Amino acid sequence: MLKSIIAKRDEAVAGGAGSAERTPSVRWALASLSLSMLLSSLGTSIANVGLPTLAQAFNASFQEVQWIVLAYLLAITTLIVSVGRLGDITGRRRLLLAGIFLFTVASVLCGIAPTLWLLIAARAVQGLGAAIMMALTMAFVGETITKAKTGSAMGLLGTMSAMGTALGPSLGGVLIAGPGWRAIFLVNLPLGILTFLLAHRYLPVDRRGPKTDSAGFDPAGTLLLALTLAAYALAMTIRHGDGRGSFGSLNMALLVAAALGVGLFVRAEAKAASPLIRLAMFRDRVLSASLAMSALVSTVMMATLVVGPFYLSRALGLNAALVGLVMSVGPLAAALTGVPAGRMADRFGAQRMTLVGLIATAAGSAVLSMMPATLGIPGYIAPMVVITVGYALFMTANNTAVMTDIHPDQRGVVSGMLSLSRNLGLITGASVMGAVFALASATIDITTARPEAVATGMRITFAVAAILIVVALAIAVGTYRRRWRTWRNRALAPGAALQATKKDSG
């Protein structure tokens, strides 16, 4: 599978006299990046299935054990852009190695934690390691893979991310039933050691450029961005203990704090000598559009995870085992689509494949919004496969379109911004699409709602999802049409200049 990705790179290596022996094997470098993506995604999904067991083990409430998941997500969301920028400045290889080491050690600490709050603290440290791994894996693609094969490499990373997400619940269930809950964290130890050894041996050594090229770090911007993102993430995830998930005054206060934080961050970055994020980057319409589309599509994908279990259990009457089996079909479809999606992005162009992915996601959402419950499991799975395949195609093509032409000293921060937009979409989707589902079901407690009410809520939620994807499509069409017009004008410019020259000489 990796041979097609590395063929051109190997040719370039073969042409380099004297340096060929020192050039790392691209195949094994890509394997280390893939494992990094797998581990960080696995860490996101494997703990969820263990929350009921952990609540019993520590004699804690659901609201308390939920922080095991929240601490990990908050650490990733608040720090992913900052660690990407840090990698651009200090060297991506050494920082990625530090991230893998941190993730592995923190996993062991999670596995041996004697109290709930020590477990939560270790999960936050694990999230920091995962943020580094997520931010820098995509950034490394530009250094290890030729531009012509970037899509295939992005597709492989997307596949590993989907595999980690899909594998988490089933692997976690097996480990909890066997060795116990501590094993869901300790399983990362052998995988982390293998990833570290491969990355240490095969990733390209950091190149030190002239001192004039190295920008300083932006501590004020980093702190402001972290606090702003933390406030937003907490506003979207904290819920009252009444079981209804109400959005209260604390949530509103956190949203106001996040809005103020955005203003302060923009002001600080405009004055900073070496800003964390160069605000001029957002003048690039392709980058801005890609970030907005990624957030919208991720919001919709979270709707499948929020609504799916309730629809399958309440409306279709499936037991827990069948619900888990049906829910795994989507991530499995995304995993199988990743590498082919990358090859199509390389062959047909990332922008065209971005549009195809969005159209597929919109079509699947529209079909689900009209799907009668009488069609049962097949009626749910078929459009869900279309949605997840479209999502995998979109994410691969969108990431490829952004990362292919990015300047080397900005790869880390832009990769972090892409991951951040996805995470913010997931966090927003969990709150907003969950609220849409609850309102559309017209019930106080969704866990005891009538099957007809749940089915109606599902259809209305995916009607909203289809609208969001249509908005993303409009953004894509507007951005790419403008870019294609620019390319056409540039292509015609030499001919126009020649005509002008002939007229002058006549």
What single string gives the DSSP state of each residue in 207-240? P---GGGPPPP-HHHHHHHHHHHHHHHHHHH---
> Bigger pLDDT: 242 or 423?
423
Q: Which residues contact 273 (CB under 8 A, 6 or more apart)?
A: 216
Report the alpha-carbon distance of residue 38 to residue 303 in Å, rounded: 22
Q: Which residues contact 414 (CB under 8 A, 6 or more apart)?
A: 84, 139, 281, 287, 402, 403, 406
Is-contact 123 108, C-beta < 8 A? no
Q: Residue 450's CB: how many other CB atoms inside 10 A?
A: 13
The mean pLDDT value for 395-401 works out to 85
| pLDDT of 153 over the 90 cut | no
Report the alpha-carbon distance of residue 469 to residue 475 in Å, rounded: 10
| Nearest Cα residue to 172 out of 156, 188, 161 | 188
> Bigger pLDDT: 23 or 491?
491
| pLDDT of 8 over the 70 cut | no
> Bigger pLDDT: 211 or 160?
160
| Nearest Cα residue to 379 out of 431, 436, 426, 316 | 316
The mean pLDDT value for 425-449 works out to 76
Report the alpha-carbon distance of residue 417 to residue 420 in Å, rounded: 5
Note the pLDDT tens digit of each residue in 184-200. Answer: 999 999 999 999 999 99
**How many helices (H) does the chain have, and how many strands (E)?**
19, 0
> Bigger pLDDT: 326 or 320?
326
Q: How confident is the model at residue 358 (pLDDT cuts 50, 70, 90)?
A: very high
Task: Record the pTM.
Answer: 0.75
